Amino acid sequence: MIFAIRYVLQSYTRSRRYVPPVVIYFFAMMLIYSYKPSPIADSYSVTALLLFFASAWLGISLLNHEHPVQKQLSVQHNRQHWIYFSAELIAAYIMLVFMTGVAVIYPVVFKMFVHVPSVLQWVVGIIGHLSLALLGLSLSLFCQRIFIAKTNRSLSLVIIALTLSLAGPRLAELLPVGAEWMIWILPPAHMTVNAVMNLGQIPTGEVVWSLLFPVLYAFVLIGVYIKIVSRKELNGLH
């Protein structure tokens, strides 16, 4: 597994396809902190939301960076196919963890906030970023080349999924009585953004649930994805 993760990271970084999502994310982050002092909760909620979108972009970029034939060889190199597909996800998340670290530490080091964040703000900020990063990555899994051949179509589906994940509360108001449960099918990104932004104004239990539910949602998608691709015929990886 470690060898596979190292290989994916080396292959992806050499392709330079990570540059657009990473550079644009950091550029947007610096724009947010172009004026100081910035409010802690609002700033962290925005950078976490941006990471949500960047993680989906990075996920599609990494999962599609290899030529189909090379990907077949990479998968075949592992006795069990799920090892390589899991290595791809771990490699992507390692990069997202790095981006999270920069997003959380940068404004503190350069004194962009009114004051140094409290321990609670640190913890919620870090978990919020990591939670949305994992959720965004999981949403990109079924929009890669082995499921959708056309890149434009896959990007459109990801954008729709990301948008719907933020529109949960509004959609609940539009649904008929008795059908509100349908919003639980949608990715719960809005819950995490709300928890980070309104920390201190909502119950602790709700904050914890809002941070962990997206993680559980993402693991369900990841589990389904690994099961499908592990059984998928290698000639279907095109």
Secondary structure (H, E, C), 164-216: HHHCHHHHHHHCCCCCHHHHHHCCCHHHHHHHHHCCCCCCHHHHHHHHHHHHH
How confident is the model over 118-127, as pLDDT tens digits? 999 999 999 9
Q: What is the mean pLDDT of the chain?
A: 85
How confident is the model over 89-107, as pLDDT tens digits? 999 999 999 999 999 999 9
Q: What backbone torsions phi and psi does residue 17 show, to the nearest 5 degrees?
A: -75, -10
How confident is the model over 169-203, as pLDDT tens digits? 666 666 666 655 566 678 889 899 999 999 889 99
pLDDT score recorded for residue 235: 47
Quickly count: other Cβ atoms within 10 Å of residue 175's Cβ.
Answer: 12
Q: What backbone torsions phi and psi does residue 113 show, to the nearest 5 degrees?
A: -95, 165
- Report pTM: 0.88
CA proximity to 134, closest of 44, 62, 74, 55:
55
Estimate the crossing angle of helix 119-140 against helix 151-166, to 10 degrees. Answer: 140
Structure tokens that stand for 73 in this block: 């060889």
pLDDT score recorded for residue 67: 75
Q: pLDDT higher for 47 or 66?
A: 47
CA pair distance 79, 130, nearest whole angstrom: 31
